[in-house]
């Protein structure tokens, strides 16, 4: 197999995926990855690249949700402290916000898993119908 133009694409795709996770715009992501914005948009329209980007984003979100869940214990501790220490409104508000986000995060991960299961079931049904 000869090393043609396409041989660098896997490395460039990985760089593009990382850039899409860290940069605020597609233009900035393309620049950071060292590719043209048109190329990046074309890749983003491809199902394989789109699936890899979705998986990478999901991984980032799941990591953040895990951190929120870990902080939830501290939030509960703060709420418990504040039940008897007067009116520390800022601390209570922060604790409530952390708990709300942790709960929403669990719901979001559960929903994503359900959607994935439904997609797999639909793909299996489609494959069986053929």
Structural domains counted in the chain: 2
Does residue 50 sit within a domain? Answer: no
> What does pLDDT average to in each consecutive run of 10 residues of the chain (130 residues)?
65 96 96 96 96 95 92 82 74 81 91 95 81
> Does residue 99 belong to any structural domain of this protein?
yes
- The pTM is what? 0.55
CB 41 within 8 A of CB 5: no
Is the domain of 71 the same as that of 121? Answer: yes
Residues 62 and 119 in one domain: yes
Residue 1 resides in a domain:
no
In this structure, the answer to whether residues 31 and 63 fall within a common structural domain is no
pLDDT of 75 reads 82
User: Do 69 and 116 fall into the same domain?
Assistant: yes
Task: Give the separation between CA 52 and CA 7, rounded to whole angstroms.
Answer: 19
Q: Clarify whether residues 31 and 76 are in a common domain.
A: no
Of the candidates 91, 53, 109, 99, the residue with the CA atom closest to the CA atom of residue 73:
99
- Residue ranges making up the domain that contains 38: 8-45
Q: Are residues 31 and 74 in the same domain?
A: no
- Residues 61, 118 share a domain: yes
Query: Is residue 93 domain-shared with residue 114, that is, in the same domain?
Result: yes
Q: How much is the pLDDT for 1?
A: 41
Q: Specify the pLDDT at position 2.
A: 46
pLDDT the model gives residue 60? 94
55-85: burial string, b at 16+ Cβ within 10 Å, e else: eeeeeeeeeebeebbebbeebeebbeeeeee
Do the domain assignments include residue 3? no
């Amino acid at each position: 197999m000869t090393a043609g133009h396409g041989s660098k694409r896997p490395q460039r795709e990985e760089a593009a995926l990382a850039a899409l996770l860290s940069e605020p715009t597609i233009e900035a992501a393309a620049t950071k990855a060292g590719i043209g914005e048109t190329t990046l948009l074309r890749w983003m329209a491809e199902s394989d690249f789109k699936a890899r980007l979705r998986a990478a984003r999901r991984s980032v979100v799941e990591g953040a949700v895990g951190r929120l869940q870990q902080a939830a214990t501290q939030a509960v501790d703060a709420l418990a402290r504040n039940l008897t220490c007067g009116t520390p409104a800022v601390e209570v508000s922060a604790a409530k916000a952390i708990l709300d986000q942790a709960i929403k995060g669990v719901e979001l991960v559960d929903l994503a898993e359900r959607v994935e299961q439904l997609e797999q079931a639909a793909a299996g049904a489609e494959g069986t119908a053929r």
